[in-house]
Amino acid sequence: MIKNPYLDVLATAALTVLFIIVSSYLVGGLARLIVKWRGATPRKQANTFAGYLFASPWIVGFFIFVVVPLGFSLYWSFTDYRIASGKPIQWVGLENYETILFKDDNFRASLVNTLYLTVIGLPLQLAVALFLAALLNQKIKGERVFRMSFYLPVILGFNTAVLLCWRLMLNTGTGIINQLLRAMSAFQPFSYLMRGAIFVQEVSAAFFLGINNRNFNLFHKVIEAGFPAANRVPLWVQSPLWSKMSVVLLLVWGCGTMMLIFLAGLNNIPKELHEAAEVDGASGWQRFWKVSFPLLTPYIFYNLVVGMIASLQIFEPIFVLYRDNQPLVPSAISMVYYLWQKSFSHFEIGYGSAISWLALLIILVITVIQFRLQDRWVTYDVY
């Protein structure tokens, strides 16, 4: 067609718009025919036509980009389909799923790593977001500026450029974060705190790595090594024990959306409840846990569901921080990273489809479980 790639795209975009307009008229006309045949009033016919006309960009797209692809990928997940090899598609039944679930160490690693980010990263993220929201809720001057600066990371968020800046800051020897930690560990209580945190983090990471490769050697070694030496600093992007924690750090940094939602929740709590509790002699701490917290649970629930879906789908930070970084890759890859690697580096479409269906199932099951459990702890009373 057209040689210049930019003009080519413009032409395709124009054709697409034309296609959407034509198909919208067709869908609208069809809908009108059906209701006319059923004997609707002219007014209703006109509304039906307009409704389907305006909605059909989505309806048409839903079939082209969701229904048909999902059907095909379900079919491919039962086949051996390698797009680059030129061989015909071969039906293999459940073989892909069996391999993934029982033989594929990399998939298990990616699953465990994603789980780590969800089990350890998400609660940290929620806690920091809640803490910042509680601070901002004190009605102080300059709230806007603080709110803005807490939300800024969400906007910059997972841009490759900003992630690379984190990569620079997380360097073990020369990175600014470790240099600051080193400088601060000259002070005694802080030094102990930091060493304790390092120990806890390394033990938990070693435990997860143990699930990864089914031997707990490293876990025992970390326990044996005991409390870290006084000059130890975190090894962020250098050691398998720290690779996931670096991603958690990034997640916590980007907690701005959660914070805004908690802030809205805190604002919605009726003043009278706090005043009544204060009259009854409740301390600030008690008021938070007995009054604010139960009323915040719907917001916590929302953040939990959305945050969990997001952390199950994480890709960019892992790609930027650990792409091809061989010794670290198994300790860091997420489900989506593994899916990308299988489908687009190895071009194993059938296998990739099976992974994506498993990912979909996992996300669905976790979300459904969360909705089932919400009755036990989420309070909707006052609303």
Partner 1 sequence: MKRYWQMLKGLILYILLTGATVMMSFPLFWMISSSLKTVSETNSPGIIWVPPHPTLQAYFDIFKNKAFLTAYFNSVFYVTLALAGTLISIAAVAYAFSRIEWPGRNLVFFLMLSTMMIPPQALIVPQYVFFNLLGWVGTFKPLIIPGYFAGGAAMVFLLRQSMAQIPKELDESAFVDGANHVQIWWEIVLPLVKAPLATIATFLFVGLWNSLLTPLMYLQNVSMYTLPVYVSTLYNINLTVQPWPTIMTAAVLTTVPLMVVFFFAQRYILESVVVSGLKG
> For partner 1, which is the closer residue by CB, 187 or 227?
187
3-state helix, strand, coil in the chain (%, to 5): 75, 0, 20
Instruction: Give the number of residues in contact with partner 1, rule: CB under 8 A.
Output: 106
Shortest reach from residue 87's CB to partner 1, in Å: 15
User: Of 223, 237, 221, 207, whose CA–CA distance to 115 is shortest?
Assistant: 207
Contacts of 103 (CB under 8 A, 6+ apart): none
User: Of 117, 115, 89, whose CA–CA distance to 353 is shortest?
Assistant: 89
DSSP state, 4? S
User: Would you give the binding string for partner 1 spanning residues 225-254, x where CB under 8 A is met?
Assistant: ----------------------------x-
Q: Of 201, 316, 366, 370, which one interacts with partner 1 (CB under 8 A)?
A: 316
Q: Of 4, 5, 42, 376, which one interacts with partner 1 (CB under 8 A)?
A: 5
Task: Please state, in angstroms and as integers, the Cα–Cα distance from residue 336 to each residue in 68, 198, 322, 360, following that order.
Answer: 21, 28, 14, 11
Candidate ranges 96-104, 115-123, 164-172, 207-215; the one touching partner 1 (CB under 8 A): 164-172
**315 vs 335: CA distance, rounded Å:** 8
> For partner 1, which is the closer residue by CB, 206 or 354?
354
Q: Of 292, 319, 330, 341, which one interacts with partner 1 (CB under 8 A)?
A: 319
Q: Do residues 122 and 311 make contact, with C-beta atoms less than 8 angstroms apart?
A: yes
User: Would you give the binding string for partner 1 spanning residues 174-193, x where CB under 8 A is met?
Assistant: x-x--xx--x----------
β-pair partners for 187: none
> For partner 1, which is the closer residue by CB, 218 or 295?
295
> For partner 1, which is the closer residue by CB, 2 or 94?
2
DSSP run (H or E) holding 96 = helix 95-98
Q: Of 173, 189, 226, 281, which one interacts with partner 1 (CB under 8 A)?
A: 173
Q: Of 9, 22, 127, 365, which one interacts with partner 1 (CB under 8 A)?
A: 9
User: Of 241, 237, 248, whose CA–CA distance to 123 is shortest?
Assistant: 248
Q: Do residues 232 and 195 make contact, with C-beta atoms less than 8 angstroms apart?
A: yes
Half-sphere exposure of 38 (CA within 13 A, CB side): 10
Q: Do residues 352 and 339 make contact, with C-beta atoms less than 8 angstroms apart?
A: yes
Q: Of 78, 108, 352, 378, which one interacts with partner 1 (CB under 8 A)?
A: 352
Q: Of 25, 26, 57, 223, which one interacts with partner 1 (CB under 8 A)?
A: 57
Site for partner 1 in 93-132 (CB under 8 A): 132
Candidate ranges 161-169, 223-231, 272-280, 285-293; the one touching partner 1 (CB under 8 A): 161-169
Site for partner 1 in 276-315 (CB under 8 A): 299, 302, 306, 309, 312-313, 315
Tell me: does residue 25 bind partner 1 (CB under 8 A). no
> For partner 1, which is the closer residue by CB, 135 or 282?
135
Q: Of 149, 215, 217, 283, which one interacts with partner 1 (CB under 8 A)?
A: 149
Tell me: does residue 366 bind partner 1 (CB under 8 A). no
Q: Do residues 207 and 213 make contact, with C-beta atoms less than 8 angstroms apart?
A: no
Classify the phi-psi angles of 214: left when phi > 0, otherwise alpha if psi is within -120 to 50, otherwise beta: left
Give the number of other Cβ atoms within 10 Å of residue 173's Cβ: 9
